[in-house]
Structure 1
Amino acid sequence: MELKDKLTQGLVQVYTGNGKGKTTAALGLGLRAAGHGLEVEMIQYMKGSTYSGELFSTEQLSNFNIRQFGKGCPYAAGIRQGLMKCTACGDCFFKGEEDKDKKVHLKFVEWAYQYTKQVLGAGKKDLVILDEVNNALRYDLLKVEEILDLIKLKSDKTELVLTGRGMPEEILERADLVTEMKAIKHPYEQGIKSRWGIEY
């Protein structure tokens, strides 16, 4: 068997729920796959922080690519260099209909969706992760039917992972594996903010 024929069967996985760990679990799967020589593509919807640790780690791996499609953090350069921490200002997050930058967020989602179609259509990646794709659904920047179209587009030998809280039932029904992260306790409730090296 040639090394390129690595996955004999590609399934659809969903990591959802209100607990922490959805992106982390997807990254763990990506790391495992990359370690076996599989080609991994992580497409992050509505994320543009440019300072998350996974961006630096995967730079060392030629077969694990991360593309971010989201509004950037105004303090990213300082955070990336360790000069400051994330202040949780929320400027890089979409705030809903009242957000003055809604058109900017929508454009990033459109770019992410087109890029996802391109990647899945080419069928060259063994594992494709659509990180936080459900944020685009929750805010009506994407439709459920569009995600179902992406699932149809994937190759039989491509594993597809979707992450995000509150994943719609239609997508859960189409998935082969669904994991729900349940929030039981979180340091945020004790006033502990996101920590460099752990949460980002």
Structure 2
Amino acid sequence: MIAQLETSSENTTLDLQHSMKGLVQVFTSPNRNFFTNVMAQALRIAGQGTPVLVVQFLKGGIHQGHEHPMRLGQKLDWIRCDIPRYIDTPELNESEAQSLQKLWQHTQKLVFEDKYSLVILDELSLAIHFDLIPETEVLTFLANRPSHIDIIFTGAEMPQSILDIADQITEIRRTH
């Protein structure tokens, strides 16, 4: 049996890249040690040709910052906060606070430039929990982002407001 699908001549090209609504996914855990699973997903997706951005908000130590993104392969960009340590407390000095705010502003700018199909926001939840980035700004960002971009949040202390709008929530926990 042979079937043929007829299409209108007006609709000869499909823009599949922008036709689907992006998902908000959450990967949360009480521990800060599960980023490897999400990074493996990012590498797999980038390896298939999809542009991916990974932003680590509370990790530093490698003098990277938003001015010096790391490119892994052709389709995965990775940026960290330009601080000498990882953040595990809400007490930051002025330069650390400025670096975190610059990274947050830069991340929003990149998303609105529509260069990426997947954006991973690692430990943004803790930055919100520590009152370093306002939760309302993150919610506004999510509401206004290009609708086809998938967003993945990782981290502990995930705000209920983000859980409420998430399309998928994965809780990682130890069972022993």
Q: Please state which band the TM-score falls in when normalised by the shorter chain.
A: 0.7 to 0.9
Q: When the two structures are superposed, what TM-score results if normalisation uses the length of structure 2? A: 0.78
Residue of structure 1 equivalent to 2:20: 8
Tell me, yes or no, if structure 1 residue 128 matches structure 2 residue 119.
yes
Tell me, yes or no, if structure 1 residue 160 matches structure 2 residue 172.
no
Q: Deviations over 1:115-150 (max 9, x none)?
A: 111011112211011111112112110121111112
Distance 2:18 2:51 in 1: 10
Tell me, yes or no, if the aligned pair for 2:72 and 2:78 is still in contact at 8 Å. no
Instruction: Report the residue type matching 2:128 in the other structure.
Output: L
Q: Deviations over 1:62-81 (max 9, x none)?
A: 11000111412xxxxxxxxx
Residue of structure 2 equivalent to 1:118: 109
Map 1:45-194 to 2 at 5 A. 45-50=57-62, 59-72=71-84, 92-94=85-87, 96=89, 99=91, 101-184=92-175
Distance 1:156 1:96 in 2: 33
- Taking a change above 3 Å as real, the CA distance of residues 60 and 139 of structure 1, as seen in their structure-2 partners, is closer
What SS is found at the alignment partner of 1:5? helix
Residue of structure 2 equivalent to 1:30: 42
Distance 1:177 1:95 in 2: 26
Deviates more, 1:42-51 or 1:143-152: 42-51
Q: When the two structures are superposed, what TM-score results if normalisation uses the length of structure 1? A: 0.70
Q: What count of residue pairs does the alignment treat as equivalent?
A: 158
Percent identity between the aligned chains?
25
- Taking a change above 3 Å as real, the CA distance of residues 10 and 105 of structure 1, as seen in their structure-2 partners, is same
Residue of structure 2 equivalent to 1:88: none
Tell me, yes or no, if the aligned pair for 2:112 and 2:145 is still in contact at 8 Å. yes
For structure 2, the residue ranges without an aligned partner over 5 or more in a row are 1-12, 64-69
Shift of 1:29: 1.6
Tell me, yes or no, if the aligned pair for 1:20 and 1:181 is still in contact at 8 Å. no
Q: Deviations over 1:43-96 (max 9, x none)?
A: 110211339xxxxxx744011000111412xxxxxxxxxxxxxxxxxxx13353
Q: Which runs of 4+ in 1 moved over 6 A?
A: 1-4
Distance 2:51 2:152 in 1: 14
C-alpha RMSD of the superposition: 2.5
For structure 1, the residue ranges without an aligned partner over 5 or more in a row are 52-57, 73-91, 186-200
